[in-house]
Chain A
């Protein structure tokens, strides 16, 4: 059942060949069976899932609901769900039960998608391996001693292992695409503002963007359709009318101009990943696309700019976790300053503290111009690179990450090498563009993703390219043997 596409599942649900309760129970059973090893879920919500599945069945019995009604979903533990523990992978929120639904959660609830649970993640979405979670690392279903990527590593792993048909993720510097690449699944980070950030715990507000993670591009298109749209509760939400993300899926790629940035194939990229990506580009060419070389000359400015701006925003966004109103509070605080210092020192993990320190430093008096303002300038330069490149092409393709999934512990003591994991994904977040990771093959037995980057609001086009690619390839259908 877990190998069906969403369309097939939906068909079976609507003809009542299967019930939502049965489908949901199927996933709950698989979670029970496999997640002990994977550690992909922080919280599993079987009662909530079954209760919601029952309601979905009632709708389906009456012939109501949409294509997604009755299909279960797992939410990254960064999205608030009313009455459900929402930890953001942190000890700081270990005891936090959210009192409200994020807009994304509310939207998926309203179409009748039972909630299986909350997936593991790097603490406060800061990381590229899911190792910084307070709940321990999630493992890559393709190789248990490898990381699933991060920060949405739990969501990627549950899709890869068939522990959910759908998952939500968030992408601040690559956190949907890199784990999608590492786990061999499909993930899309939409244009900044397409998916509401309301109820999504903020890491770096001007970069954070929620998006769907699934097996195929077609599945992702359906989920994105349900997740996105203007939200008056998010001032940075896009006010324009929502695109129909499934409308262009079947369009031919003939004449599509595919830009290959030469800077994305330079130093640091592993040869096997490079070869796999080039083979995927060749597939697109065979489907009628015109391959053109483009240039993103300021690509190397993106990581340093990001590691000033994102921590700067984070240092402020995470100030609310102070031990006063909710979340972790230290034992026996002696006074106010002790309460703050110990609650935050004990409640946050190393990487979170590192980024708060870096960010506070970049914003401090006397350094603001040299770091924060300078980084904003770099951000504009990186964005301008893309604007120029899109004058010559319709989509840009390249690798998602320089390597396949690395081993657990391999980079966790080396922040710089961890930061460079996001070398190809971060420029997209600086520019606020939509981008995807699409399974493109394997290198040394581990999945490799093809990075598709589009211009603003071109999600439908990206999904079209990915879907057409998936019509002639079967990488997205592969599952690790142990979970078949």
Chain B
């Protein structure tokens, strides 16, 4: 019998509020150390937390999106442990009564098969600060800017059976929280962190001892880390050893995981309800108000793109890959009224340029409105599709709007039939031998003449008219 892999994920999604979960400090990334830490964040005596109410609709929106029960009375608990980057000596979290309770799930697709992954719960908590080990020789620096940043910890059931499934779930979750507008999804900045619990066992026997792989900041590395971990555990068990319950770190350079700390040394966290905070009561009205403002979810969007816009499944999936991409696409369509053409441009030139520069669609130098302006010039025959690519490149380089570039570079299509006729005459006169050959039955020479006319017009002659005039002249 082969080994069965069991994986459950704990995902920390940083909620995109302006301020911390219990204090008024900013959570903007990248500030000088400790410049975003006020008296509460420093754990000063006598300081009291006040809940940032902006976190509640975000957490509830998530709960509704995954079909979970919303905790009508959720409670903040204290998780007690000592660490220098934990200024109060406890982390405020939700233990017994989370805001997002049981019943949620996410559908993933791996190798064409659809699978439901259960979501155990999701709860609100504050992030810890950061220990900086390399800034001062022999000493550890503490940066409390991150302390108190609001997190939604999303805990899955141990429903995944391969690294591929785990990554598919993580990606799906990453897409979802961005769609919901509750998390910016930036993995490099730690806004979306994935911890994987991995174990193996023989089917029909109890689950094996698990190892936890922490804070891996790319999907590729998550997959590699899990693969490595599975192989490591199989090797241990098959050579008669025992897997130790522990936290392991992934080293992407060596492609291996190594032990960070064994669970045996772990603290008893002595959870108890935080007496400084009141339970959070959520009413039916609150839930309905949040439901009414829910954005369209990716699966609904994909279906709509196929039915309403007539796009292929592939195109629909591509364009709904992120909320920003879908919003961009929909903005282009709203002007062009041509979904297929808009899809081709967004998936073609635009995506190609974004990839080349490695930037996000939000940072595109060509806005959706600007791209729609370019498509309008194709639609009204001002330029050909080919010239449009040239105009797009100029737009990408910030040379101006489509109209400005067309005017400045004189790229307007030649549609005057007498002018095209003059070009055709010029080409035919210069290629007498080829004309002779064509007349003798070499039909494929026609394309050559079209190419020559386009060439002398510098691509600006209207191709339809060129065809028509050539046919007439050669007949």
Binding site for B on A (CB under 8 A): 79-80, 86, 88, 93, 96, 98-100, 102, 197-202, 204-206, 232-236, 312-313, 315-316, 318-322, 324-326, 336, 340, 360, 363-365, 368, 372
In the complex, the answer to whether A364 meets B270 with C-beta atoms within 8 Å is yes
Q: Which residue of B lies closest to A313 (CB)?
A: B275
In the complex, the answer to whether A235 meets B78 with C-beta atoms within 8 Å is no
Q: Could you list 16 examples of A-B contacts with CB < 8 Å?
A: A80-B46, A88-B45, A99-B39, A100-B44, A197-B46, A235-B49, A316-B78, A316-B270, A316-B272, A318-B89, A319-B88, A320-B87, A320-B88, A322-B84, A336-B84, A372-B272
In the complex, the answer to whether B46 meets A199 with C-beta atoms within 8 Å is yes
Give the docked Cα–Cα distance between A360 and B271 (Å): 10
In the complex, the answer to whether A363 meets B82 with C-beta atoms within 8 Å is no
In the complex, the answer to whether A93 meets B45 with C-beta atoms within 8 Å is yes
Name the interface residues of B78-115: CB closer than 8 Å to any CB of A: 78, 80, 82, 84, 87-90
Give the docked Cα–Cα distance between A234 and B90 (Å): 19
Give the docked Cα–Cα distance between A426 and B84 (Å): 35
For A365, list chain B residues within 8 Å (CB): 268, 270
Given A236-B278, A363-B270, A325:B89 Cβ within 8 A: no
In the complex, the answer to whether A236 meets B276 with C-beta atoms within 8 Å is yes
CB < 8 Å neighbour of B46 from A200, A316, A364, A368: A200
For B271, list chain A residues within 8 Å (CB): 363, 368
In the complex, the answer to whether A235 meets B48 with C-beta atoms within 8 Å is yes
- B142 interface hit (Cβ, 8 Å): yes
In the complex, the answer to whether B272 meets A201 with C-beta atoms within 8 Å is no
Q: Which residue of A lies closest to B85 (CB)?
A: A324
- B277 interface hit (Cβ, 8 Å): yes
- B262 interface hit (Cβ, 8 Å): no
For B48, list chain A residues within 8 Å (CB): 197-198, 233-235
- B321 interface hit (Cβ, 8 Å): no
For B142, list chain A residues within 8 Å (CB): 324
Given A233-B48, A235-B48, A319-B89, A312:B272 Cβ within 8 A: yes
Given A235-B51, A319-B80, A324-B142, A363:B272 Cβ within 8 A: yes
For A206, list chain B residues within 8 Å (CB): 275
- B428 interface hit (Cβ, 8 Å): no
Distance in angstroms from A76 CB to nearest chain B CB is: 12
In the complex, the answer to whether A96 meets B45 with C-beta atoms within 8 Å is yes
For A320, list chain B residues within 8 Å (CB): 43, 45, 87-89
Distance in angstroms from A240 CB to nearest chain B CB is: 14
Please report whether the interface of chain B is mostly helix, strand, loop or mixed according to DSSP: loop
B27-56 toward A: CB 8 Å interface, digit per residue (1/0)?
Answer: 000000000000100111111111100000
For A324, list chain B residues within 8 Å (CB): 84, 87, 142
Given A319-B88, A324-B84, A201:B275 Cβ within 8 A: no
Given contacts A102-B46, A202-B276, 19 further A-B contacts (CB under 8 A): A80-B44, A98-B45, A99-B44, A202-B46, A234-B48, A235-B276, A236-B276, A313-B275, A316-B78, A316-B270, A319-B89, A322-B82, A322-B84, A360-B270, A363-B80, A363-B271, A365-B270, A368-B270, A368-B272
For A364, list chain B residues within 8 Å (CB): 268, 270
In the complex, the answer to whether A325 meets B39 with C-beta atoms within 8 Å is no
For A312, list chain B residues within 8 Å (CB): 272
In the complex, the answer to whether B272 meets A205 with C-beta atoms within 8 Å is no
In the complex, the answer to whether B43 meets A325 with C-beta atoms within 8 Å is yes
Q: Which residue of B lies closest to A205 (CB)?
A: B275
Distance in angstroms from A199 CB to nearest chain B CB is: 4
Give the docked Cα–Cα distance between A363 and B278 (Å): 20
Give the docked Cα–Cα distance between A268 and B44 (Å): 41
Q: Which residue of A lies closest to B83 (CB)?
A: A336
In the complex, the answer to whether A86 meets B45 with C-beta atoms within 8 Å is yes
Q: Which residue of A lies closest to B88 (CB)?
A: A320
In the complex, the answer to whether B39 meets A100 with C-beta atoms within 8 Å is yes
For B270, list chain A residues within 8 Å (CB): 315-316, 360, 363-365, 368
In the complex, the answer to whether A233 meets B50 with C-beta atoms within 8 Å is yes
For B42, list chain A residues within 8 Å (CB): 325
B384-396 toward A: CB 8 Å interface, digit per residue (1/0)?
Answer: 0000000000000
For B78, list chain A residues within 8 Å (CB): 316
Distance in angstroms from B428 CB to nearest chain A CB is: 86
Distance in angstroms from A305 CB to nearest chain B CB is: 15
Given A319-B82, A365-B268, A235:B46 Cβ within 8 A: no
For B46, list chain A residues within 8 Å (CB): 79-80, 98, 102, 197-202
